[in-house]
Amino acid sequence: MVLELRHLRYLLAVAEHGSFTRAAEDLRISQPTLSQQVKQLERTVGVQLLDRSGRAVRLTDAGEIYVGHARRALRELAAADRAVADVQDLSQGSLRLAVTPTFTAYLVGPLITELHTRHPGIAVDVKEMPQDRIESALLADDLDLGIAFHGPHLPGIAATALFTETLSLVTGAHRPDVGHDDGRPLPVAELAHRHLALLSGDFATRAHIDAYFTQERVSPRVAVEANSIQALTEIVQRTPLATVLPDAITHDHPSLRPIPLEPPLPQRTVALLRRENAYRSAASRAFAQLTRDLVRTRGYTPPQPPEQLAGRPAVDLG
């Protein structure tokens, strides 16, 4: 029998579901057909890949090894398909992007708008997820690019610094009683008895904020926690509550006012992430370039020199 890609996909489906019945339903083929195809694969490789003796179907030792190689082979073939379909003039193409949650509030919209304006034929799949999941997905070739923060990265992740993110106290523009109208920083000690609305613990930004307050020995009263930046900005605009958010969010919200704190919150370096030595499509290269163009146009603070950044040095994604 000649080995075909469908045999690998059938085996992976059975391994994932632990059942011929559920795998057949997922593949939309009959169970007898699925069972016959997997047996043909086992005869071709000359070894039993599945243990059918229990209630659940399990991989044999040989099956575990074979499935690992099969998954890698299918990933490489999928990458090859994308490479063949990639049109260098960018009249069409695709991009798989993921960002950490705060960037959906101020960065993703302008980036996708600019990409669509320059290259309307590129289809974009955007996901929001924590940074550890972004890096794992990049390594698994489930993403092309990620936008997150510079720091210690998983082995195999390459990063290029984009800009420095600054966080400040944020109030509604109608709250002149908070902070100083002349732009002077507000001593953080003045927040000790103030009610705040903050991001929930689902956000890495909240841990960053809490660490700052702990270091400064200040314990503001958290009146509201929200797992949505949009909800948080609405609350701050309509109530006397203040929050702590990246300054860049206020650029697109004239009804919000950033107030620098003294001492300032530690800055973070925003980075574009990819898998080292991965195939880089024309779409991903174009997106990397327009990202650099956009952060420069919007006047975001340039990143620190690579030697001053924690973790792995930044690399060029050009």
Radius of gyration in angstroms for the set of CA atoms belonging to the chain, rounded to a whole number: 25
Give the per-residue pLDDT at 1.
Answer: 61
Q: Is 100 exposed, middle or buried (0-12, 13-18, 19+ CB in 10 A)?
A: buried
pLDDT for residue 108: 95
Q: Are 10 and 37 spatial neighbours (Cβ–Cβ below 8 Å)?
A: yes
Per residue in 1-29, pLDDT (tens digit) is 668 889 999 999 999 999 999 999 999 99
Query: Which CATH entry fits the domain spanning 167-262: 3.30.1490.20, 3.40.50.1010, 3.20.20.70, 3.40.190.290?
Result: 3.40.190.290
Q: In which band, very low, low, confident or very high, does the pLDDT at 203 lie, cut at 50, 70 and 90?
A: confident
Asked whether this chain's domains 93-164+268-308 and 167-262 adopt the same fold, the reply is yes
Which of helix, strand or coil describes residue 113?
Answer: helix
Structure confidence at residue 317 (pLDDT)? 42
Predicted local confidence at residue 253, as pLDDT:
85
| CATH architecture group of domain 93-164+268-308 | 3-Layer(aba) Sandwich (3.40)
Query: Percent of the chain beyond pLDDT 70?
Result: 92
Relative to beta strand 145-149, strand 93-99 is: parallel
Give me the chain's average pLDDT, please.
89
For 5-85, the fitting CATH number among 2.170.190.11, 1.10.10.10, 3.10.620.30, 3.30.365.10 is 1.10.10.10
pLDDT at 160 > cutoff 90: yes
pTM over 0.75: no
Q: Give the per-residue pLDDT at 143.
A: 96
Between 102 and 306, name the one with better pLDDT: 102
Distance CA 34, CA 38 (A): 6
Per residue in 284-317, pLDDT tens? 999 999 999 999 999 999 987 654 444 444 444 4
Pairing of β 145-149 and β 268-275: antiparallel
Regarding beta strands 58-59 and 243-246, do their DSSP bridges make them parallel or antiparallel, or are they unpaired?
Answer: unpaired
Instruction: Give the SS3 label for residue 243.
Output: strand
Residue type at position 229: I
